[in-house]
Amino acid sequence: MSLLDYTLRIADSSLISAQRLSEWCSKGPTLEEDIAISNISLDLFGQANGFLEYVSELDGNKTVDDFAFKRNEREFFNFKITEQPNGHFGDTIVKLFLTSAFNFLFYTKLSGSKNEKLSALAAKSLKEVKYHLKHSRSWMVRLGDGTEESNKKIQESLNSLWQFTGEFFEMDKVDTEISKSGLGVNNLSIKEDWNKIINTTLSESKLIRPKDGYMQTGSKRGIHTEHLGHLLSEMQYLPRAYPDAKW
Amino acid sequence: MEDSTEVWEVFIQSKNGLAHKHVGNVHATDKELALQNARDLYTRRNEGSCIWVVKSKYIVSSESEDGEAFFDPSNDKMYRHPTFYNMPDGAKHI
């Protein structure tokens, strides 16, 4: 069931990013940005839903809601960066920028998948992700090349989140099998382009690219940071407290 | 910190070839953000195919006290409306 595992990882990263970003709703720095971030969150929920529908179809037994609401931390396979707390606005922008740059390149490749479902879901997600990248990239420049204070803050965000970028380019057995059969993406093949996007943006933003030091790993095996459990307890509270509750 | 946020007026074109219509305004620090904010606030439900943003301070508006001088003189000049022509039966949508 490599295909199921592969698709579930994509779905989980979208779902957890979406849930995190939704925490900004009503707390954005301006009304306009509040709506912008909530829109991005909704895009990501939509993407998660699409990929989870396919997971549920492959599984043949569990529903989309089962997958979203009835799994524990160790059964989630999202990139660790997606579960990190929002922090201040600059932290959120750095997180969104680093992941959107990856998502943009990943979905560009995945839209050429031999698997029709995956390629269609990727093509649809790609349009949205392009905007996420554009929006977060412009904020990187605005904050990085803004005031001394904003530059300092966003540089700190970048330094502390950098350790989570190694996971983007990990390839385990599932990834290798799926990419070799032409269904998925060889993540190593997009690393150079990812570096280009990052480097160009950072130099435009007057930010310094952190050195690759210790890199976090483990999410492909369901190992997470302490933040995921808290996120899930909030996200899953209602369906767990009131099983089969309907709108 | 100095607040460099300004108000921008937003105009949306709903279809190619139609005029851009004023829909409201947004706050933004620069033109790129003004466009993105306008996109997020005013085109969420398929409203548009093109957006214009213009800093509100660059809009020149007529003053309400000039209303009489500006607009009243056209009140009694019915002949400026093309209502005195006989339309051929076949002509529609005029």
HEC profile of chain A: CHHHHHHHHHHHHHHHHHHHHHCCCCCCCCHHHHHHHHHHHHHHHHHHHHHHHHHHHHHCCCCHHHHHHCCCHHHCCCCHHHHCCCCCHHHHHHHHHHHHHHHHHHHHHHCCCCCHHHHHHHHHHHHHHHHHHHHHHHHHHHHHCCCHHHHHHHHHHHHHHHHHCHHHHCCCHHHHHHHHCCCCCCHHHHHHHHHHHHHHHHHHCCCCCCCCCCCCCCHHHCCCCCHHHHHHHHHCHHHHHCCCCCC
Task: Look at residue B11 and give its three-state secondary structure.
Answer: strand
Measured CA to CA, the distance from residue A93 to residue A135 in angstroms comes to 9
Q: Considering the entire predicted model, what is its pTM?
A: 0.89
Mean pLDDT (chain A) is: 97
B47 in reach of chain A (CB within 8 A): no
Q: Nearest-CA distance from B42 to chain A in Å?
A: 11
The beta-carbon neighbor of A32 closest among B28, B32, B44 is B28
B51 in reach of chain A (CB within 8 A): no
The beta-carbon neighbor of A35 closest among B30, B33, B41 is B41
**What's the complex ipTM?**
0.78
> Are A134 and B30 within 8 A, CB to CB?
no
The pair of three-digit structure tokens given for residue A65, joined into one six-digit string:
């809601």
The residue that leads in pLDDT, A23 or B91, is A23
Q: Nearest-CA distance from B23 to chain A in Å?
A: 15
> Are B36 and A36 within 8 A, CB to CB?
yes
Q: Are A150 and A144 in contact (CB under 8 A)?
A: yes
Mind listing the domains of chain A with CATH numbers? 2-241 (1.20.1260.10)
The beta-carbon neighbor of A138 closest among B1, B32, B41 is B32
Homologous superfamily, domain B6-80 = Phenylacetic acid degradation B (3.10.20.520)
A244: left (phi over 0), alpha (psi -120 to 50) or beta: left
Check pLDDT > 90 for residue B87: no
Give the model's confidence band at B28: pLDDT under 50 very low, under 70 low, under 90 confident, else very high. very high
The beta-carbon neighbor of B40 closest among A32, A138, A149 is A32
Q: How do residues A188-231 score in pLDDT, each as one tens digit?
A: 999 999 999 999 999 999 999 999 999 999 999 999 999 999 99
Q: Nearest-CA distance from A229 to chain B in Å?
A: 31
Residue B8 β-bridge partners: B26, B55
Pairing of strands B6-13, B50-55: antiparallel
Check pLDDT > 80 for residue B84: no
B31 DSSP assignment: H
Backbone angles phi, psi at A146, to 5 degrees: -95, -110
Q: How do residues A40-92 score in pLDDT, each as one tens digit?
A: 999 999 999 999 999 999 999 999 999 999 999 999 999 999 999 999 999 99
Q: Where are the domains of chain B?
A: 6-80
